[in-house]
Amino acid sequence: MKRILRLIGLACLAGAAIGAVFHAQVLAALGAFLDNSEAPQKADVAFVLAGDQTGNRVLRGGELVRDGYVPKAVVSGPYGLYGFNECDLAIPYAQKSGYPPSYFVRFPNVANSTHEEAAAAAKELREIGAHRVLLVTSTFHTRRAGNEFRSAAPEIAFIVVSAPDRYFTANGWWHNREGRKTFLVEWIKTVGAWLHL
């Protein structure tokens, strides 16, 4: 019994030593897993996901229109931000940043999750006849969002384009509190999606 306990203790010490030496690589790999973004390409439309309080997603959508990748960006807007749909706050923000409102199409909805948003968007994208869509979301959200939207509308080709996040980068998210929170919450949601929770 003593020998087994000694072996377990040595294994724990070895694991801790390896973790201390390689922790940055392991943490970076876990962060990089969440980022499944792709380079933008010509598409029928961009779809800007809700849930970004910084405005980076809608600005990225505006960039894609300005740069000629898509003719319009559909901006998702669940209801609930102080009695507003999020798209009704995001589009004026983009306008203040220099993008004309003609770049954007409002998409008010009542989705409470990426899963619900994907289902609502799939219906809308089918109605407008979109076959190739640039899906715009935050870097940390690209893998899960891509999976949800491809599952909701497998006949549509989704190219997931990332919008930068001030606090989250794959190789440095653990250096700040907001990055750590973002990482933890996104991993919980990712595992929940795998388990269909």
- pTM of the predicted model, to two decimals? 0.88
Please report, in angstroms and rounded to a whole number, the separation of the first and last CA atoms in the chain: 41
Write out pLDDT tens, residues 75-84.
Answer: 999 988 789 9
- Residue 18: the pLDDT is 66
Q: Does the CA dihedral 120-138-96-98 come out positive or negative?
A: negative
Write out pLDDT tens, residues 185-197.
Answer: 999 999 999 888 7
Cα–Cα distances in angstroms (integers) from residue 184 to residues 47, 87, 138, 158, 168, in the given order: 25, 27, 15, 26, 11
Write out pLDDT tens, residues 55-113.
Answer: 999 999 999 999 999 999 999 999 887 899 999 999 999 999 999 999 999 999 999 99
- Set out the domains of the chain in order of their start, with CATH numbers: 45-165 (3.40.50.620)
- Residue 136: the pLDDT is 98
Write out pLDDT tens, residues 143-182.
Answer: 999 999 999 999 999 999 999 998 999 999 999 999 999 9
Does residue 156 contact residue 125 with C-beta atoms inside 8 Å?
yes
Spatial separation of the C-alpha atoms in residues 179 and 190, rounded to whole Å: 16
Does residue 115 contact residue 5 with C-beta atoms inside 8 Å?
no
Does residue 78 contact residue 109 with C-beta atoms inside 8 Å?
yes
